[in-house]
Amino acid sequence: MALLGQMIILESERLKKVSGNNSEREALILLGYVMGCQTSLLQHNLNEEVSISTQNLFKSVVDKRCQHQPISQIIGLRYFWKHQFLVTPDVLDPRPDTETLIEQALDIGPFKRILDLGTGSGCILLSLLSEYPLATGIGVDISEKALNVANENAILLGLDDRAQFRIGNWCEGISEKFDLIISNPPYVTEDEMYNLSKDILDWEPRIALTPEGDGLNAYKSIFTSAEQLMSQRSSLILEIGFNQAESVSAIARENNFETVHIIKDINNKDRALVIKQLV
């Protein structure tokens, strides 16, 4: 049998090639996952013996990480806003930057009827519904597998009575009015895709990352059909790439919308637009 501390050193060494300076932290997270305990507890028990089956399980999850599978997919969870969300290779791993959209919605809300376009894991819609106990909403996605994950998250968070998930192409087939439409659509350009890390490129769904071409096609589709789902008082909040505020605002103007606010993220980069219909 090996000691816990020895296992951590051994597996951190293997992890260095994918996670560099983070390798020890990742080894602790993965061992904590395998043993079902917190990483702080592991650090206090480095001289404890580890059973052969735990060693083998630990090695197998480190193997996965060495194939560049993101930690969130291996452990199946990601903390977003105030809750844990199930994450699989079928959904985008929710990003801290996207929490900027939640903050903004809370600033300009409350909202009672919410449409989340490209819902993925459901993290945006479900976070907002948990903040607004009287609100209901629809999450749309073109991926049935992503919607299965969103549905599971809604059940786990006890929000399935107020969240509905529908398969669809952006706003197609939806005909009611919403006071908030919110979306983190795919916006990476086809060229930028070549620069993404293997963790992202090999493991997250391409359809969640890029609409191909110049990265703007999802915005074009949303703007051409969102108007009929909004009233003059409704808001549209869209996540954007750090260099897309101008081009997305131009598409908005062509479609009778205007950007009323550009929101910065925690790194002070443009991250979201608040958009209204032109009067």
Ligand X SMILES: C[S@@+](CC[C@H](N)C(=O)[O-])C[C@H]1O[C@@H](n2cnc3c(N)ncnc32)[C@H](O)[C@@H]1O
Note the residues at the interface with ligand X (CB under 6 A): 92, 94, 98, 118-121, 123-124, 140-143, 146, 169-170, 184-186, 207-208
Nearer to ligand X, 208 or 274 (CB): 208
Nearer to ligand X, 120 or 215 (CB): 120
Q: How far is the CB of 15 from ligand X (least distance, A)?
A: 26
Nearer to ligand X, 55 or 184 (CB): 184
Burial class (CB within 10 angstroms; exposed 0-12, middle 13-18, buried 19+) of 191: exposed
Residue of 147, 131, 215 lying closest to 180 (CA atoms): 131
Q: What is the rounded distance in angstroms from the CA atom of residue 42 to the CA atom of residue 33? A: 11
Structure tokens at 140: 């749309």
Q: What is the rounded distance in angstroms from the CA atom of residue 233 to the CA atom of residue 180? A: 9
Nearer to ligand X, 34 or 222 (CB): 222
Q: How far is the CB of 186 from ligand X (least distance, A)?
A: 5
Number of C-beta neighbours around residue 231 at 10 A: 9
Q: How far is the CB of 268 from ligand X (least distance, A)?
A: 20
Q: How far is the CB of 246 from ligand X (least distance, A)?
A: 20
Angle at 95 between CA 91 and CA 98, to 5 degrees: 110
Q: What dihedral do alpha carbons 239, 262, 216, 187 form, nearest 10°? A: -30
Nearer to ligand X, 61 or 91 (CB): 91
Q: How far is the CB of 57 from ligand X (least distance, A)?
A: 29
Q: What is the rounded distance in angstroms from the CA atom of residue 87 to the CA atom of residue 149? A: 7
